[in-house]
Chain A
Amino acid sequence: MIEALSRELITWLGYLQRTAVLVQVAIVVIAVIADKKSRWTRKVHSEFLISVSHLITPGLLILLGMVMKWIGVPGGYLQYLALIWLIWRLIKPTNLLLKRRFPKLPVEQLDQALFRPVLVVFTVISFFQILGSRESLSIIELGEVFGVTLTVGKLLTAMVITYLITAYARRPAALVAWLGGFFLGLKPQRQRALEVIVQYSVIAIGVMGVAYYVGINGTALVAVAGGLSVGIGFGIKEIISNFISSLWLLFEGSVRPGEILMINGDPCTVRKLGLRATQLRRGRDGAELLIPNQNFFTQEAESYTAEETSRRDAVVVGAAYHHEPQRVIEILEALAKDHDKVLPYPAPAAFTIDFADSSINYKLLFWVRNPLEAFAVGSDLRQAIWTAFEKNGIGIPFPQRQVYPMEWPPSKDETLRIGGSSSKLQADKTESAGEAP
């Protein structure tokens, strides 16, 4: 491998003996320096116009290269370098234009996941192509993998294809899921589950295809599986367990993106079912939770969306003993029925649940469609109860505690006075004492 690489390197060094090559490189270097130092764009305030103005120098270089070729002087390398420069500089105005024309398009994501990676690959391949080394570099042997000779070309192609498959498998998967929803009437949650299943299926098929492209045959893959089985026994049991759990959960459909689960008493929305862990968003504080899949597989989980999404919640309130419970219950039920987000069926219901120390306690049970809204609806109802009780003269009693400072050990007179029928509160005593001349 080193010998082959050095052969190419020496050939490239040989090109530096040529005046034509040196002149082209020099022109590009001078143009880059001049472009960096140019200040005339400072007067332009539009970001788009500034980005477009950056295309002028490479554009002029391309024209210069054309002129050189026209007069019979090698100018192709100059044109090539300028073209690559131009293409890279085109990214920014293109992004700005796309953002302006299609505000909903994930331009930055496209830029990072598509434009730039494709350009990097294009730049590398075309650079070696123009030097005449692409084919000879691609057949450099790196070593043997499962009896297959791995070359630079095969490895790079495999990497690019694998990247494209993993990065873009979601697009066809989303299309399939959408078609499933359109034609089969799948609910959004099932669509998302289908999307994930298709996505990983595409990735799995793609990776196997890449393995076959490289030359690794079925026997070798079986050997890999055999090796993995030993590895699973020792080190990667957890990873495989999580992986298998994720597949199982996907097919079972019990944990799907969009599902609402109770995690440690907090409702959380499943955002993404990964191969190792499930990503959830906690409704209380928006924290992202990453929970290994096998937890869902081996432990009980509380779901509000497994079959239906409605959730029942309760508000507990106390009313003074002297109010008639039937009247209080009517008020509570009427309040719940008036709330927009409380479901009419099952109808809200209030119950007397306790004769407490200072109040009769009631529980108002109500259903909401979206479990994540239960907290807010409970808050609304509590406020409404306070207002309605105030309006109807219903008091909400609460225990009161009064504190008296005492001497220790208490004097005999004080003890007798407090225990007597004409005793007064300490405060009164203090007040009287204060008033004494």
Chain B
Amino acid sequence: MNAALNRSLFAGLACCLLSGCAGIEGPAVVDIVRTIESSEGITSDDYEQLTDISDLVFRQIRDLDPQIHPQLTLFTSRNFVQHIRQRTESGFGPDLIITDSETALDLYDQKLIDPIQLTEQDRQDTPQSLLDLVTAKDGALVGRPVNQFVQLACFNKSRLAKPPGNLQELAQSSDDATFGMAIQLKDLFWSAEAFNATPAFQAAMDGSSIDETSRARVTSWLHWLVGSSYQQNIRFLNTQRELRQGLIKGELDWITCWSSNLKRLRSKMGDNLGIAALPQGPVQHRKASTRLEVWVLGRNSSQLQRRKALVMLKFITKPWAQKTYALMSASSMPVSQKAAAIVASKIPGGSEALNNYIQNDEQPTGKVRVKARIFRDQMSYDTISDALLDTIYDVRTPKESTEQILQDLKETR
């Protein structure tokens, strides 16, 4: 350990000495910042959760290029953009940022990161639907998708023998068990897809006419949300973290969760943790709801640091690395289509997520998925989020909210 530390310190010192010689391919410290969802600050547990995989990744990258010295720091999502702005304006911005697609787009909007160039081969290996999620309005690719986390249902096996398979069962089961959902659009979007409300959003954003059927689906979705909020045993909480805490404490028996949190939940609940797909809605074809893990390039890197960051980026998106780390974590699906096909059956919700790749093939070229369009445009995202809150809190009727959403989406076009 001491020898390793000494080596690192020596390398760091050497980095400084070579700082004036940008042309020399010397050692480089690559500052990596990773966001995690936590409202109570980072703890040493959070580092321990990531240590196994990140250590292995960094070790293997250093086998490839011993001159790279990656240094990982964790940050909470809260005020993250502001934090990165402060550091970037001072010259201390990270070389690499590992975050979700929404944050990446936000960072790009505020000119805190540099866009990424992908080779044609890289583009072919990554589903366009995922690239859409990290494509800014100006067409720039703001980050490189590396993993995707699948949204699932997590439940307490000792309290709920069989998880609800569809929304009707969920309503019926709520007599015996307590269900929890996060009142955030990114966590509730699965239900919009389950009611097939997205074509109306798409039409509104395109400025085309919206047929009554599509409009009615949006209203049905909102009706379902209001109906659920009226139920005694369905609770809407603010964040995913509150949901997880509720499940761990036994206050909730079923919650929507993300595969990124399975390790933490399993460590707290042990064998009582059950995992299932999200309930199916009126639409028969189930879609996987996923959240991207994106690697983004900071703006303050020296030329050497940028080169090393790109080496790391290239390494982590290789099918071999994608497969290895996805299987190790058992919680994320790789973005590489080749790797995804191999690991899908081993990852909870992986088979449904694999459908996204297939759908992507069916998607007309250049047609950006509605989810990506909503999530990358803050105004559209806020429009639907506000309408959701107004509906759940009975400020507006589902019908009024439907009209409001579609009207606002048209205007923000």
Contact = CB atoms under 8 A, between A and B. Distances in A.
Partners in one complex: yes
A74 B42 contact: no
B1 interface: yes
Contact of B305 (A17, A22, A80, A131): A17
A321 B90 CA distance: 98
Interface of B: 1, 5, 8-9, 11-13, 15-16, 18-19, 22, 28-31, 33, 41-44, 47, 69, 71, 73-75, 83, 86-92, 94, 300-302, 304-305
B5 A130 contact: no
Contact of A135 (B29, B42, B88, B89): B42
A17 B304 contact: yes
Given A14-B305, A139-B43, A77 B28 contact: no
B92 A130 contact: yes
Nearest to B5: A6
Interface in A69-95: 69, 74-77, 79-80
Contacts of B31: 11, 14-15, 132
A3 B94 contact: no
A9 B9 contact: yes
Given A10-B8, A17-B28, A3 B1 contact: yes
Given A17-B29, A76-B86, A132-B92, 15 more contacts: A3-B5, A7-B8, A7-B71, A9-B9, A9-B12, A10-B8, A14-B30, A17-B15, A17-B304, A18-B300, A19-B19, A20-B300, A77-B92, A130-B86, A149-B44
Contacts of B12: 9-10, 13-14
B27 to A, nearest CB: 9
A24 B71 contact: no
A11 B73 contact: yes
B91 A15 contact: yes
A403 interface: no
A141 interface: yes
Interface residues of A, number: 36
A433 interface: no
A133 interface: yes
A80 B30 contact: no
A136 interface: yes
Interface in A284-320: none
Contacts of A131: 92
B88 A17 contact: no
Contacts of B69: 10, 14
Q: Is the interface of A mostly helix, strand, loop or mixed?
A: helix
30 contacts: A3-B5, A6-B9, A10-B71, A11-B73, A13-B13, A14-B12, A14-B69, A14-B71, A15-B91, A18-B91, A18-B300, A19-B19, A19-B302, A21-B92, A24-B90, A24-B91, A74-B89, A75-B89, A76-B90, A77-B90, A130-B92, A132-B31, A132-B33, A132-B83, A132-B92, A132-B94, A133-B73, A139-B42, A139-B47, A151-B44
A436 interface: no
Contacts of A139: 42-44, 47
Interface in A107-155: 129-133, 135-136, 139, 141, 149, 151
B18 A17 contact: yes
A305 B327 CA distance: 83
Q: Is the interface of B mostly helix, strand, loop or mixed?
A: mixed
Name the residue in A20, A24, A131, A141 with the highest tally of chain B Cβ atoms < 10 Å from its Cβ.
A20
Q: Which 9 A-B pairs have CB atoms at the shortest separation, nearest pair first?
A: A14-B29, A76-B90, A13-B12, A74-B91, A76-B89, A20-B91, A77-B90, A17-B19, A10-B12
A11 B70 CA distance: 9
Nearest to B87: A132
A16 interface: yes
B28 to A, nearest CB: 7
Interface string A1-42: 011001101110111111111101000000000000000000
Given A77-B90, A135-B41, A13 B83 contact: no
A10 B33 contact: no
A288 B15 CA distance: 60
B44 A141 contact: yes
A75 B300 CA distance: 12
A10 B11 CA distance: 8
B83 to A, nearest CB: 7
Nearest to B72: A7
Nearest to B13: A13
A9 to B, nearest CB: 7
Nearest to A80: B90
A3 B75 CA distance: 19
A6 B9 CA distance: 7
Contact of A16 (B16, B73, B89, B90): B16
A17 B13 CA distance: 10
Contacts of B47: 139
Contacts of B300: 18, 20, 74
Contacts of A16: 15-16, 19
B108 to A, nearest CB: 15
B302 A18 contact: yes
B298 to A, nearest CB: 11
A7 B44 CA distance: 14
A11 B86 contact: no
Contacts of A15: 31, 91-92
Contact of B42 (A75, A79, A80, A136): A136
Contact of B91 (A10, A13, A77, A135): A77
B152 to A, nearest CB: 29
Contacts of B91: 15, 18, 20-21, 24, 74, 76-77
A392 to B, nearest CB: 90
Nearest to A18: B302
Nearest to A14: B29
A9 B86 CA distance: 20
Name the residue in A6, A17, A21, A79 with the highest tally of chain B Cβ atoms < 10 Å from its Cβ.
A17
B345 to A, nearest CB: 37
Nearest to A73: B91
A6 B44 CA distance: 16
B16 A17 contact: yes
B81 to A, nearest CB: 14
A69 B85 CA distance: 11
Contacts of A6: 5, 8-9
A18 B301 contact: yes
A22 B73 contact: no
A211 B40 CA distance: 20
Nearest to A75: B89
A352 to B, nearest CB: 86
B384 to A, nearest CB: 32
A203 B390 CA distance: 48
A69 B9 contact: no
